[in-house]
């Protein structure tokens, strides 16, 4: 095989993935997200686990174009999101989990840093894209903030990973009235959460 340039490798990869996915199962925007998640994971079997609320992609794209906050539960998600594209719309990508005030609140209350970080965002999550790739406790806190009418995110990317409350917290998200993109079950992770936001940015820019 002749040496391919990086862009050519990506184009070929996405074409292969597109051929592996069933036709007509998702809207064009949803399919763009699913393809990116399969590309990021290297696992076509992930596709059936990706689920969307009605209008989730449109809600996320509109929020990003409007210059929203992208709030993340880990710095790995924050670093993975294309901040330059978010900032070009007037938005910002933020993670509070390493703040000393969050650490102190976690010690004081016995709650996880991730939950404390979401609580610290508070009303700033209203209209935000919230990208969660690690902590079920962060997702539970976002759901609580919405239930308490503190903040209603424009979109929740719910992809906490693991075997303790990851699947259950995502089921709670899917049962809520929030707009969401989620991966069912125990799978997920920070790379997938970041890839979802980046896919939405590509859709926003007409690249998907």
Catalytic residue ranges: 39
Written as six digits, the tokens of 207 are 């690249």
CA distance 128 to 104: 25
Distance CA 132, CA 152 (A): 15
């Amino acid at each position: 095989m002749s040496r391919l340039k990086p862009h050519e490798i990506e184009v070929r990869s996405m074409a292969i993935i597109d051929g592996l996915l069933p036709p007509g199962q998702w809207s064009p925007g949803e399919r763009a997200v699913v393809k990116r998640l399969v590309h990021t994971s290297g696992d076509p079997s992930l596709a059936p686990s990706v689920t969307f609320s009605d209008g989730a992609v449109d809600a996320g794209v509109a929020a990003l174009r409007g210059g929203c906050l992208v709030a993340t539960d880990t710095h790995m998600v924050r670093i993975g999101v294309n901040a330059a594209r978010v900032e070009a719309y007037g938005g910002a990508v933020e993670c509070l989990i390493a703040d000393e005030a969050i650490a102190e609140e976690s010690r004081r209350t016995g709650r996880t840093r991730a939950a404390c970080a979401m609580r610290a965002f508070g009303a700033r999550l209203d209209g935000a894209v919230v990208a969660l790739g690690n902590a079920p406790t962060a997702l539970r806190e976002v759901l609580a903030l919405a239930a308490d009418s503190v903040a209603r995110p424009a979109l929740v990317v719910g992809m906490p990973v693991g075997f303790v409350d990851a699947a259950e917290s995502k089921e709670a998200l899917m049962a809520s009235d929030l707009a969401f993109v989620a991966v069912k079950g125990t799978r997920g992770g920070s790379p997938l959460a970041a890839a979802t936001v980046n896919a939405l940015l590509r859709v926003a820019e007409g690249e998907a």
